[in-house]
Structure 1
Amino acid sequence: MDTTSVNLTTARSTASVAGARDSTRDFLEHLVRLLAAETADTVVLVVSELVTNALRHAGGTCTLDLTAHPDGIEVAVHDPSPQAPRMRTPDFNRGTGGFGWPMVNRLAYTIQVTDAPGGGKTVRAFLPR
C-alpha cells in the first residue's frame, strides 16, 4: 500500500502558491506507485487552485495536507475561514476570477468541505490515481 502524507503551512504570497506546487511535485515524485504525468499535473493544478483560493479568500494562511491512498490522492487545505467555497460566474472582463472552484469540482471525483474544530474549514478533493 502506498499511503503517506506531507504537511505544508503557507502564508499569503505568490511564493507560497509556488512552494505548494513544488512540494506537491516532490511528494508525487517520491510515491512508490508513481502517477502518470497527466494525473500528476492535475493534482498540482488542484493544489494550486485550492491554496490560491484559501490565501485569497480565507484570511491569508492555510495548511496543505497530501495523502496517497491506493486508489487516489487526497488534497486537503485547512484555512481559518468558516465560509465554504461557492460557485460564481467566471469574470471574463475584469479578471476577478471565478474559474478555479468549478474547475476543481470537475477534476475531483469527490469534494468535501467540513468545519474544522476550533474554527475554519477543511476543503478536501479526492483525485483518482
Structure 2
Amino acid sequence: MDTMSVDVATDHPAGSVALARDSARNFLEKLVPAPAPEAADTVILVVSELVTNALRHGGGTCTLDLTAHPDGIKVAVHDPSPQTPRMRTPDLNGGTGGFGWPMVNRLATATSVTHQPAGGKSVTARLPR
C-alpha cells in the first residue's frame, strides 16, 4: 500500500491548494498500476476541494493524507475545526460557495467525517482507482 502525507497552511492559500494538488498528482504518477486518467483527475479535484474547505473553514492549517488501495484511493484531510461539512443550497449569485461538499459526495464511493479525541476532524473520501 502506498501512502503520502503533506502539511498545508494558509500562509499563501492559493499556493497551498496548488501544493496539495501537485503533491497528489506526483503521488498518483508513481503508483503501479497507475490510476486511469479520469480517476486521477477526480482525485485531484477532490483533493483541491477538501483542502480548500479545510483551509477556509477549518482553522487555517490541514494535513492531506493519500492512501492507495488496490481498488481505490483514500483522500483524508485533517484540520483543527470540529465543525462538520454540511450540505447547503449552492449560492449562484453571492459567491459564498455551497458546491464543493455535494460534488465530493457525488464523485466519491464513500465519504466520512471523524472527530478526533484531541480536537478537530478528518474528512475522508474514497475514490475509484
- TM superposition score category, shorter chain reference: over 0.9
Alignment-derived partner of residue 68 in structure 1 = 68
Q: TM-score, normalization: structure 2? A: 0.97
- The one-letter amino acid of 1:85's match is P
* Percent identity (aligned): 71
**Whole-Å separation in 2 of the counterparts to 1:75 and 1:28:** 12
Q: 1:37 maps to which residue? A: 37
SS at match of 1:118: coil
| Residues 58-113 of structure 1: per-residue CA shift (max 9 Å, x gap) | 11100000000011000000000011100111001011100000000000000010
1:1-129 matches, cutoff 5 A: 3-12=1-10, 13-129=13-129
**CA distance in structure 2 between the partners assigned to 1:117 and 1:46 by the alignment:** 25
Aligned equivalents of 1:94, 1:112: Cα separation in 2? 28
Report the 3-state secondary structure (helix = DSSP H, G, I; strand = E; otherwise coil) of the residue aligned with 1:63: strand
Instruction: Name the SS for the 2:96 alignment partner.
Output: coil
Alpha-carbon deviation of 1:32?
A: 1.1
Q: TM-score, normalised by structure 1?
A: 0.97
SS of corresponding position for 1:117: coil
Q: CA deviation at 1:117?
A: 2.8
Deviation at 1:128, TM superposition (A): 1.0
CA RMSD of aligned residues (A): 0.6
Cα distance between partner residues in 2 of 1:104 and 1:41: 13
- Structure 2's unaligned 5+ residue stretches are none
Report the Cα distance in structure 1 between the residues aligned to 2:23 and 2:67, rounded to whole angstroms: 13
Moved over 2 A (4+): none
